[in-house]
Amino acid sequence: MARGRSRGHKGGRKQFSSADQIKEDLAKEEEKRRWRAAHPDSSSEESEDEGAAGGKKKTDDGIEFESSSSEESSSEDEDGKKKGVEGMIEVENPNRVRQKQKKVTQIDTSDKASAKPQLSRREREEIEKQKAKAHYQKMHAAGKTDEARADLARLAIIRKQREEAAAKRDSDAKAKEAAAKAKVEATNKALGKKK
């Protein structure tokens, strides 16, 4: 038994359109466009033409564009006849959320909504942290925090120690100077020199 592939299969023979066939197709499309322009109120003919033309639509200017079949089918389902039991029983899915379109005039533009934008928890915490830090720095600069008081006490002790050290250095320098002077005088006296 020999196995072979049919012509419609992927690996089958390829068929190409001839130039004459392409011209005929273009002529049919042009004729359909003219007919649609002459009969704009005929919606049943348009839907048949759209299916035959591969989902192409034309605007009033005569410009063709392809429309998606999902958009067409959704609008046909809502507007056209319902199939099967849908026509007899009206059932609404309670889980389905319908998007309601709002007009510009319906949008809430009150001062309350525009004056205070909604912030996330992290953003609010960050703002509070910055405010607390600024308040602490202000209180610290004024010397009203425990840390500022401790710093000021430490600074006072250090100033006192530095003053004592400076006074001690001065007294040591004076003592050395006096000792050097006494030594020079003693040396001069021993040598018998006079001033």
Is 52 among the domain residues? yes
Is 113 among the domain residues? no
Provide the CA 131 distance to its chain's centre, in angstroms: 25
Query: Both tokens of residue 55?
Result: 């989902």
Structural domain harbouring 153? 147-191
Is 12 among the domain residues? no
Last residue of a domain, one of 56, 76, 96: 76
CB 181 within 8 A of CB 195: no
Query: How many distinct structural domains can be found in the chain?
Result: 2
CB 82 within 8 A of CB 90: no
Q: How confident is the model at residue 52 (pLDDT cuts 50, 70, 90)?
A: very low
Is 32 among the domain residues? yes
CB 57 within 8 A of CB 50: yes
User: For 144-166, what is each residue's pLDDT tens digit?
Assistant: 888 889 999 999 999 999 999 99
Task: Give residue 57's pLDDT.
Answer: 55
pTM, entire model:
0.31
- The residue whose two tokens read 């001690």 is 168
Is 57 among the domain residues? yes
Is 109 among the domain residues? no
The long-range contacts involving 52-58, CB below 8 angstroms and separated by at least 24 positions, are 53/29, 58/33
Provide the CA 134 distance to its chain's centre, in angstroms: 28
Task: Give residue 1's pLDDT.
Answer: 47
The pLDDT > 90 percentage for the chain reads: 32
